[in-house]
Amino acid sequence: HKIMAVTPGSIAEELELEPGDVLLTIDGEELEDIFDYHYMIQDDHLTLLVRKQDGEDWEYDIEKNYYDDLGIVFYNGLMDDYKSCTNQCVFCFIDQMPPGMRDTLYFKDDDSRLSFLQGNYITLTNMKESDIDRIIRLHLSPINISVHTTNPELRCRMLHNRFAGSSLSMIRRLYEAQTEMNSQIVLCKG
């Protein structure tokens, strides 16, 4: 994950990390996204593997206070690509937007990480069981979910996604793991 900036006075500045350096691993583990990063730096001893701009890999052993931030800023706030919605919902408000507005208004977000960070609502249809496991393991809560219907066949039809009915079992798993969920009810005439 490419470093965009280093916070002045931070541990990263002490280590002489620079914009353009790439964080490869923490304690030998690759990072998927910003959640892994924040989860993995919550320790008093860390080993970072960083690829410097000249291509050389440097290993840093760090001793710090448990909750100290390293002071690394990444190019993408999630350190990963945003996940977009693949449904073709009959009621999609984004599909109903007029043309000519700013590009970000046309992005069909369906990313559970943005649900946690920004309060966005998701359908759960692009998630795998491993994504649900990760939400439970990292205690990411609350998760905001659009509940279109609790009828699996109708949900598949409304979202134009043959797998949409299986998302309801994910809600059950989150409930059993005591993950706080907010829901919005989508009402459609008829």
Q: How many CB atoms lie within 10 A of CB 56?
A: 8
10 CA to centre of own chain? 25
Please name the residues in contact with 48: beta carbons below 8 A apart, sequence gap of 6 or more.
15, 23, 25, 26, 59, 60, 62
Instruction: Check residue 11 and give its pLDDT.
Output: 95
Local confidence pLDDT in tens for the 190 residues of the chain: 999 999 999 999 999 999 999 999 999 999 988 888 988 998 899 999 999 999 999 999 999 998 889 999 998 777 777 888 888 888 888 888 899 988 878 888 888 888 888 888 889 998 889 999 999 998 989 999 988 888 999 999 999 999 899 888 999 999 999 999 999 887 777 7
In angstroms and rounded to an integer, the radius of gyration of the C-alpha atoms of the chain is 20
Cβ-Cβ contacts under 8 Å for 80 (sequence gap 6 or more): 32, 33, 34, 113
| Residue that has been written with the tokens 């008829």 in this structure | 190
CA distances from 54 to 14, 25, 30, 58, 92 (A): 19, 18, 21, 11, 47
Whether residue 70 contacts residue 41, with contact meaning beta carbons closer than 8 Å, is answered with yes
pTM, two decimals, is 0.71
Asked whether the beta carbons of 158 and 165 are under 8 A apart, the reply is no
Which residue type, as a one-letter code, is found at position 19?
Answer: P
Element (H, E) at 132: helix 129-138
CB atoms within 10 A of CB 35: 19
The DSSP call for residue 122 is B
Question: What SS3 state is found at 130?
Answer: helix
Gap between the Cα atoms of 80 and 7, Å rounded: 21
Nearest to 92 by CA among 183, 171, 158, 27: 158
